[in-house]
Structure 1
Amino acid sequence: MKILVLNCGSSSLKYSLIELPEYRVITSGIEERVGTAESFIKFTTPAGEKIVESVYIPDHTRGVEIILDVLTRPEVGHIASLSEIEAVGHRLVHGGERIATSVLIDETVVEALRENIPLAPLHNPANIMGIGAAKAVLGQVPHVGVFDTAFHQTMPKHAYMYALPYALYEKYGLRRYGFHGTSHDYVSHEAAKMLGVKYDEVKIVTAHVGSGASISAIDCGKCIDTSMGMTPAEGLVMGTRAGDIDSGVIEFLLSKQDFDNAEIQEYIQDKAERDTRTSLKPEDVSFLLNKRSGLYGIACIGSSDMRDIDSAAEKGNEHAKLAADMLGYRVKKYIGAYAAALGGLDILVFTAGVGENRSELRTDACSGLEYMGVKIDESLNHSLARGEAGVISSPDSIVKVVVIPTDEEYMIAKDTYDIVTKSK
């Protein structure tokens, strides 16, 4: 079965064409910087030639259209026609408490995604657009949604509850859900395989650090805590998200009536109000915390891309250096906290774009953790090739530190295959 996997991130769209059950990756590619003038698509031809095409990708709907064109384009495509695709697997982020497992996508699933846009304002709209664009062309095949929250459903209640009036949980399902579940699931299993240990006998912390970032604590095969919460806004400093903040900051921002109008123009969603308002509304604060904070907000260079931030820091930009320092420090804090929650640590895993490819992040996150048995070999750390899995801890490190390229697409394809074959 040939399965098209679509993984719509906040500013990227990964795709893979995977054949199961034998697991053969026919092709894969990625669109990056979606929604900007610098957007592009990277893909590989059947002859093995790697191509980068600069193409304007205003949103994920157009992104899916471009991917389907590339897949079938003469000379660079991998299939003769779209009829070869037998199923589509979608990475979905938030279905609230209504949906927390992989499911066949129908209007009920799409409606759940719409209802929960406030809980995942960067991802759910992208997921909905991806589903709509794919179904418009491939509506005759089954579409399966694989939710980020599923892996974290083993968290104990004392970990996922907020210390708010209990009635808010009963009425609204207001609790911590966690995200990046397919990634944490995959890399934790792969790390155990790499090290030759039994998955259900070790304590693992997985650090998924990309534009979106989260850390999970996995005790003998079960997730017991994770850094993201009811929405993907909680936890680490991220590309454009603030991560953990004092909730009083929101009240403070909403109470101010003296914002310079030019300062808040981009946060005001109602265009008719832009010339008159001098205060923020809740939706403006949400935009600020989710799309203009994090590395973007601190670095002050108009980009949240870690490559741009590193480049600016190397040129002496103190704001960019501060952004990088804050990210490394926050990752380290969570590693320490989750080692405590686990009652020890056997394996530390780094994954996702920054975690896999930025050795400086791994150095910053592990520095100072020697007391708890974390020691990395800097020669191994810096020499690890892009996209390569490997152990980067020193031989005398009690905790094994590894880098595992994530493969969310495989996990999505596997769930899609299982659901489709069972439904036949």
Structure 2
Amino acid sequence: MKILVLNSGSTSLKYKLFSLPNLNTESEGNLQNIANHEEALKQALRKIGDLRDIAAIGHRVVHGGPVFKKPVKITKSVLKKLEQYNYLAPLHNPANLAGIRACQKYLPEIPNIACFDTAFFSNLPDQAKIYPLPFSFYREQKIQRFGFHGLSHQSAMISAAKKLKKPLSEIKIITAHLGGGASISAIAGGKPIDTSMGFTPLEGLMMMTRAGDLDPGIILHLAREYPSEKLDHLLNHQSGILGLSGCSNYLRFLSAVKKEKPKACLAFNIFIYRVQKYIGAYFAVLGGIDALVFTGQIGAGKMITRQAICAGLKKILTGVKIIVVKTDEEKMIAEEIREELRI
């Protein structure tokens, strides 16, 4: 039997086909600049060729809200519920659901299983989870820290434990997923105790197009001038590294930094500084760490970024192992499906 895993982005479709029981990769691809998810899926299926023995199709879904805390089989009611979270992750959830619908159309006999980026953080301690708003907002509206990139942080945690040669129950680590989106997590005993992203993927670190942490008063101030849709677009698509430097691509951004372009250097310094602040805070919360783990396209791929982050943390990182791992969200999804379906 086999498990097909899809990671559907707004303009991309990443897929991997795993064979059971060992989850060996039989086929994989990353389709970019797609016209739509239906056409992308058909292209992927042509590349895969043999579709026999696919027991399930796994999907990464970014926001599972307060309801979905483990993998779930997609039904009409589940899909309808997930649609309610689209506005909380507008860069991600609509595309995730488009991938699911494409599979329902072209592979209707194969069950679709959603795995959630928020699930890894579903049991955060209350002091990390609950915002200091009137308690009714948490109790009645479930306004809380959900956390994101959970599949990546979980994958990085498992890889780090193997490199440390320790069981998950004995490790204390900080995982830094740095990519177009970026987040940091504090993990102790195999469980996250805090993470930088919050109710939505807007909170936390400065990112390629998202500002990260902001004084809420700034939002109130901007809301006097911008309608909610425009403000949403500003915060999700026009802020962060792009907003400060004008660079929409991290490689071009680093090139501008090397050329000492003032705005690019400013953006780089702010990005590094904010990552360092979170690492320092989580180091304190954990009471020391065994390892700092970098993952994501920037975290695992760009040494200059890692060096800049670590350079300002020499005192607290003395004796701490620096681990770089390539995250494998698709395999993490396949493992969760194998366990959930017991196949």
- TM-score, structure 1 normalization: 0.78
1:294 positional shift: 1.4
Alpha-carbon contact 1:331-1:365 (below 8 Å) kept: yes
8 A Cα contact 1:5 1:16, kept in partner = yes
**1:18 equivalenced with 2:18 (yes/no):** yes
Structure-to-structure mapping, 1:268-417, within 5 angstroms = 280-301=226-247, 303=248, 305-372=249-316, 374=317, 397-417=318-338
Identity %: 45
- Structure 1's unaligned 5+ residue stretches are 33-38, 40-56, 73-78, 257-279, 375-396
Cα distance, 1:286 vs structure 2: 0.9
Q: CA deviation at 1:352?
A: 0.8
Contact 1:309–1:321, Cα closer than 8 Å, also in 2: no
- Displacement, 1:16? 0.6
Deviates more, 1:84-93 or 1:317-326: 317-326
Backbone CA RMSD of aligned residues: 1.6
Partner deviation per Cα, 1:140-192 (whole Å, 9 max, x = no partner): 01111111111112310111101111111122110000011111111111111
Give deviations 1:68-94, integer Å, cap 9, x for gaps.
23223xxxxxx3xx3443310001111
What CA deviation, in whole Å up to 9, does each residue of 1:380-420 have, x standing for no partner? xxxxxxxxxxxxxxxxx411110011011111011222333
Amino acid at match of 2:75: D
* One-letter identity of the residue aligned with 1:71: I
Residues in 2 aligned to 1:228 and 1:252: alpha-carbon distance in whole angstroms = 23
Equivalent residue number for residue 27 of structure 1:
27
Spell out, residue by residue over 1:40-73, the C-alpha distance to the aligned partner (whole angstroms, 9 max, x if none).
xxxxxxxxxxxxxxxxx1344443333223223x
Hey, what's the Cα distance between the residues in 2 that align with 1:238 and 1:60?
A: 25
- 2:280 alignment partner, SS class: helix
Q: 1:239 aligns with which of 201, 208, 211?
A: 208
Asked whether the 8 Å contact 2:69–2:116 carries over to 1, the reply is yes
Can you list the C-alpha shifts for 1:202-239, whole angstroms capped at 9, x where unaligned? 21100011111111000111110000101111101112
Aligned length: 343
Q: Of 110, 114, 123, which aligns to 2:79?
A: 110
1:195 aligns with 2:164: yes
Q: CA deviation at 1:319?
A: 2.1
Specify the code of the residue in structure 2 equivalent to 1:281.
Answer: P
Aligned residue number for residue 8 of structure 1: 8
Give the secondary structure class of the aligned counterpart of 2:203: coil
Q: TM-score, normalized by length of structure 2?
A: 0.95
Alpha-carbon separation, structure 2, partners of 1:151 and 1:327:
25
Superposed displacement of residue 313, structure 1:
2.9
Deviations 1:330-374 (A, max 9, x none): 1111111111111111111000100010001101111121211x2
Is residue 2:76 matched to residue 1:130? Answer: no
